[in-house]
Amino acid sequence: MKIVLDLKVVVDTNVFVSGVFFSGPPYQILEAWQSGEFELVASQDILDEYLRVGEILELEHPEIDLKPILNFVLEHVTIYRPLPIKEPVCEDPDDDKFFACALASGSKVIISGDKHLLKVSGFQGIEVFKPRDFVARYLD
| pLDDT tens digits along 79-98 | 999 988 888 899 998 999 99
Mean pLDDT of the chain: 90
Q: What is the pLDDT of residues 34-47, one digit of tens each?
A: 999 999 999 999 99
Q: Contact, 41 vs 80, CB < 8 A? A: yes
Identify the CA nearest to 126 among candidates 113, 65, 27, 105: 105
CATH no. of 8-139: 3.40.50.1010
Q: What is the pLDDT of residues 100-124, one digit of tens each?
A: 999 999 999 999 999 999 999 999 9
pLDDT at position 49 is: 93
pLDDT score recorded for residue 5? 64
pLDDT band at 3 (very low <50, low <70, confident <90, very high): low
* Residue 66: pLDDT band with limits 50, 70, 90: confident
Q: Where are the domains of the chain?
A: 8-139
